[in-house]
Structure 1
């Protein structure tokens, strides 16, 4: 009976979850009936069936059975899949919280792989890059698709290291929900908080999974407190861990459905469930059950009425699930689940919760779709280069559908692209499909001009029609670009904070190096290259030491280039501290004709504004606005001149940030070339900034350092030498661990990992939390200027 049931699962993998014992002839009859009506296509492999007949299976299996890996026709399944059954979920966590291990167990429990991969062994599905398997960390986001209880889950495993923040950013941009994974012994850690803030920026409904509760020092209450304190949200525990007398995690209690789940076997495929009543709950479980119902009643008037009319024992769990789902999608609560992924405990309830409580694409429809009337509208969010297929562009479909051998229109690039094939990604494996529909994440090979952040529609006509609707409604809340088309919000690319020179081993390989760096920068926009105007050397800009190491390694492995890197330097910024107004006039002589352009600009500090985004125009009372006096090409030349000046500040030719620029006067004679207008504006702004007491800003990172308490003095002394500012100092008496929270300039952190290991005999660890720019003192600025230019401030 069990063998027949396993065959049933393989034959109808995504439509039958093997929840009932059914004879094999019955399944074949049902499958043939479905096939006759054209609902699904089923191919029975004689080899597979013969292998199954000789497979030894457990005698008693109640829920999940380990199955051999079988590939079915993806296209047949996807055509009948309801969009409301799709879940696009981003998995985010601090490094080593168990995110990739959790993904592997999800693949294993759903039957996508026959054995779960191990991070330490380098056998995981999502960490497929050589660099990832060697280091045991996630570097690039990876997408896998699984089917669970009639739902399709597109899981995006994201990096946990601060150097790869862009990977997290662009992954969160295209998901509908997020799963935040915590280490049960650490709670909310540094990078957890960073990625949580990124998820908050996109208003993503989320849930938390507390992993590694099998560890001896795991503390569930500490995790809940850290969520409340650091993430600034109220955690809503919806299942609790169950331990045996030896302290081993054996199951969880579902506080929504009032069920106990137990895993009697190590592989976790089989689990038993048992209904429970209030009298069987311990005080901790009872407290959180009451908290769950009370919180939902506060948020949902309809549920409050049900709760008042029905006594607790007769309360329908479906009403609790409905109310919890609504509250989660509205981001009013954060459901919290428990488990141990490595021990195969809690994975099935976690998958069920993702399906039940996190939103579908229909719950998260961007406002821009109203202008496309159900036609194709999608966003390019990731690009990788394949040696055979060329650039592979990952896109998320927000509206409409897409078929292979078709044409699409890129609004941002204003060009037509050809879609020859469509792939469904599964780690580094691509499954070809005939079409893709709303809510799906697919890969398109061969898009020549598309870059990350571009909006793609089905035709130029559709784009123009949407533009007319957009302008007619004048929806100010939507993101706008110069071409005024309604487009999906792009992806914010962080500014690189480190740079170094990069040279090939031979001059003959310079062109090959330039091409390789161009491809890498297209894949990862946080990588930037430029040519130094003085030395004519290639400058590589990146996010950190590890980022640079990965780039060098990829150049060697993927492109056969053994490059030399110069010393790593930090990218400084410049800003002004006082307002300054400056006027500039330049003359352009053509024969005996004197044509001139005059500009008057005012620059003033704008703390927190970041890089220049727009230029303002003066509006004097009773006078015509400046931007109404000249054609757009002249205004654009002025704007270009401002942006050019801000890209090369007066001190170090660094990027100028946190400034507000106002064009107060503009005089342009007829026939003056646009280059002269831009040059006059640029010179005027540089002179204004030079007189506005410009200062240097340096990148500063927050550090969370954990060390044995007896090494505290040595580590603090070293931090003082590195110009650190200690923000907090805590002593964990129980574990004899000192925790240091400090701000340290990035320039002082080069090689810090090695130094900390030396100071603590290999027992210390630290984590960086983002990067911000802060003003330097005059003395420090003088040191930097002398070192880089030989001049004083």
Structure 2
């Protein structure tokens, strides 16, 4: 049976989860439609999701349309949970992008559509809520064409919109023919030639629509209401006809991608995997990270709304795997897939906050709980400060902070408070620096010779470690200890921020060979160990980095601000105060659109000011763009959480205490 892995995506409150409920009801999977407001939907299973009425974690359900089995993945709509959406996009065959007929195209809608187009995921658009007061589907179609993509095909029109009797009326073939030909022929030379000659049949035109939709060149647009069911049968038929089923050879090599990890009732890991090739069976052994291996102890696949225990999961399907304790989100199962030329990742978190337990006795439990949450969301970066007994977490926004707080209270029984949110900066070297410590020469107390040179590298290149010494000059384990320690130490630069975009070259090496006394064993006091290289490397690296010098860079968002033209006089001074740089300004009729850059640290404050400045009509869209040098004022420092190799005396005392 053909399989279709379908994602439902939308800006928050566009009706995405309600649409999922309606699709399950239409397919006969559920007998009663759940309510987001009442917390009774099938996919919002977390207590916090039901209480707040928002989707936080992606969820998988399934239903059948004709002979196609659809695995439907409901995704979060709030931008603070964009990382959850990112992981889902990598396993989709097609998507339905939901747009509200009342609110129209919103900030997150644009972000999602750009990503769907970049990844070339076949997408159908649903204009939802045509039954709501204020619904304006004609205006929304204009917005979609202007702000998302002009390659849209309205498949019908809404009658009696704005009322409970609103319904979707599909266009007849004759009504649809001319606009469809104009759009499709522009991307198909054979169809264009037949069009000019006047010989395009309805069957050929429909086949061209199916083909170009499957290639993500055009996007059919349906109208409807998830609440009343208007237009849903036509949407379901369009999904089955226009979106391509998942491909894959069940007899080929095993290859899949883990896009979600959660914990079961007994604390066991459950990995959600999309299989692209081959067949994975219970008791199969899989290689995991760091050379580990795991055995699949149980497999479930999705069927008619539920996860059903099976002995295998094959290409094209989504399944859950148990028994793989070392598995993480993003891991490959079997043969890794080749990265797509259009592969895109959303930006990493650009904010950080310190979380502390209300009761000091919960410190250990808090760290364990945050580690569990980071397993489910790898972009929640944890930073443990053993000196101050504090834990920092990286975030996308304030709503995510509230969700983490509520999750810790509900699931782990830990009450926490957060400090103020601060931007996550980075450091980059501004010049070249070098340093060395020699075995047996004061003041080096370690039995190891390490020389390092730090050079700046192109923006976005990350950290590269190289050797200018012979690999056979000493045991490989010592070289590995140096490289691993270099990467770990660069987590905190001169000002305490992650150091990136640099090349670190090992220029000197040396060690004391293994020594032993007669009739005795190994003498550590006379022989080098990995601990010697791990101990001296931070001192050498930070000395080289101090000589090179570093510049602190703060995260900057690109923004798009749409507001009434007559409010610009009030908006522009506030943008300047928030250190925003306006690159372009366009005015159309009574609306102005400003685009530019703004420091991440100022986005939240601007969002608070905006409603009052624009009579509640302003719309701000932000996304990470780049890091910019911190200029003017005091360079922000981040408290260190390591042994502080910038202070040699303190570092050696800390190392001695640790030993």
Smaller-chain TM-score bracket = 0.7 to 0.9
The residue number in structure 1 matching 2:602 is 748
- Match for 1:724 among 577, 580, 586? 580
Contact between 1:125 and 1:427, CA under 8 Å: does it hold in 2?
no
CA 1:649 to 1:125, structure 2 compared with 1: closer, same or farther past 3 Å? same
Q: Is the 8 A contact 1:703 1:768 kept in 2?
A: yes
SS in 1 for 2:488: helix
Which of 593, 603, 607 aligns to 2:459? It is 607
Cross-structure match for 2:50: 133
CA distance in 1 between partners of 2:439 and 2:301 (Å) = 60
Other-structure match for 1:441: 318
Deviation at 1:338, TM superposition (A): 3.6
Q: Measured at CA, do residues 534 and 387 of structure 1 come closer, stay the same or move farther in structure 2, by a change above 3 Å?
A: same
Counterparts in 2 of 1:715 and 1:119: CA distance versus 1, 3 Å: farther
Give the corresponding residue for 1:329.
214
Please give the residue correspondences for 1:14-53 in structure 2 after superposition, counting only pairs within 5 Å: none
Contact kept in structure 1, 2:153 and 2:218, CA below 8 Å: no
Taking the aligned partners of 2:284 and 2:640, their CA distance within structure 1 comes to 51
Between the aligned partners of 2:620 and 2:447, the Cα distance in structure 1 is 59
* Distance of aligned partners of 1:533 and 1:494 in 2 relative to their CA distance in 1, 3 Å threshold: farther
Per the alignment, residue 525 of structure 2 pairs with none
In structure 2, relative to structure 1, the CA distance for the partners of 1:768 and 1:137 (3 Å cut) is farther
Structure 2 counterparts to residues 119-158 of structure 1, below 5 A = 119-158=36-75
1:537-589: CA deviations, max 9, x gaps? 2223322211111011001011111123223222221113x431424233257
Are the counterparts in 2 of residues 528 and 541 from structure 1 also a CA contact under 8 Å?
yes
**Could you say which residue in structure 2 is the equivalent of 1:239?**
155
CA distance in 2, matches of 1:519, 1:245: 47
Query: 1:89 matched to which residue of 2?
Result: 6
**Cα offset, 1:490, TM superposition:** 11
Q: Which residue of 2 aligns with 1:167?
A: 84
Q: Residues of 2 paired with 1:759 and 1:493: CA distance?
A: 30
- TM superposition shift of 1:170: 0.7
Q: Distance in 2 between matches of 1:447 and 1:594?
A: 40
Cα shift readout 1:129-181 (whole Å, capped 9, x = no counterpart): 23223333221111121111121111111112221111011111111222222
2:412 corresponds to 1:559: yes
Is the Cα–Cα contact under 8 Å of residues 93 and 246 in structure 2 kept in the other structure? yes
User: Partner of 1:400 in structure 2?
Assistant: 278
- Map 1:88-107 → 2, pairs under 5 A: 88-107=5-24
The answer to whether the Cα contact below 8 Å between 2:117 and 2:216 also exists between their aligned partners in 1 is: no
Q: Select which of 254, 277, 290 maps to 1:376.
A: 254
After superposition, the CA RMSD in angstroms is 4.0
How far apart are residue 703 of structure 1 and its match?
4.5
Quote the offset at 1:237 in angstroms.
0.6
Q: Does the 8 Å contact 2:382/2:394 carry over to 1? A: yes
The alpha-carbon deviation at position 718 of structure 1 amounts to 3.9
CA–CA separation in structure 2 for the residues paired with 1:563 and 1:645: 29
Q: Which residue of 2 aligns with 1:654?
A: 497
User: Is residue 497 from structure 1 mapped to residue 497 from structure 2 by the alignment?
Assistant: no
1:360 to 245, 260, 284: 245
Contact conserved, 2:126 with 2:223, CA < 8 A, in 1? yes
Q: Is the 8 A contact 1:185 1:217 kept in 2?
A: yes
Gaps of 5+ in 2: 514-527, 642-659
Inter-CA distance 773–628: structure 2 relative to 1 (3 Å threshold): farther
Other structure's SS at 2:358 match: coil
Counterpart contact for 2:439–2:510, Cα < 8 Å = no
Q: Secondary structure at the match of 2:324?
A: coil
Instruction: Pick which of 546-555 and 201-210 moved more.
Output: 201-210
SS at match of 2:325: coil
Residue aligning to 2:655: none
| Change in 2 beyond 3 A, CA 1:292/1:571 | closer
| Runs of 5+ unmatched residues, structure 1 | 1-81, 259-277, 458-465, 471-476, 480-486, 619-624
**2:557 and 2:623 in contact (8 A); partners too:** yes
Q: In structure 2, do the counterparts of structure 1 residues 677 and 208 end up closer, same or farther at CA, with 3 Å as the change threshold? A: same
Task: Determine the C-alpha separation between the residues in 1 that align with 2:470 and 2:235.
Answer: 59
In the alignment, which of 699, 724, 732 is matched to residue 555 of structure 2? 699
CA–CA distance in 1 between the matches of 2:169 and 2:123?
Answer: 21
Task: Report how far residue 617 of structure 1 moved.
Answer: 5.1
Equivalence for 2:98: 181
Is the 1:132–1:139 contact (alpha carbons within 8 Å) kept by the matching residues of 2? yes
**Structure 1 counterpart SS, 2:349:** coil
Q: How does 1:440-479 map to 2 (within 5 A)?
A: 440-457=317-334, 478=338
Q: TM-score by structure 2 length?
A: 0.82
Shift of 1:773: 4.0
1:410 aligns with 2:294: no
**Match of 1:519, SS?**
helix
Q: Which structure has the higher relative contact order (CA within 8 Å, separation 6+)?
A: 2
Alignment partners' CA distance in 2, 1:141 and 1:177: 16
Residue in structure 1 matching 2:110, options 185, 193, 199: 193
Change (3 A) 1:355 1:632: farther
CA distance in 1, matches of 2:162, 2:338: 57
CA deviations over 1:93-139 (Å, ceiling 9, x no partner): 22233322322222222222233333334333222323223333221
Deviations 1:462-502 (A, max 9, x none): xxxx7xxx9xxxxxx946xxxxxxx9x99968543222222
Structure 2: how far apart are the matches of 1:104 and 1:697? 45
- After TM superposition, give the deviation of residue 414 of structure 1 in Å: 3.8
CA contact (8 A) 1:413 1:450 kept: no
Q: Hey, what's the Cα distance between the residues in 2 that align with 1:781 and 1:168?
A: 37
List aligned pairs for 1:769-784, cutoff 5 A.
769-782=622-635, 784=636
**8 A contact 2:157–2:168 mirrored in 1:** yes
Q: Does 1:668 align with 2:510?
A: yes
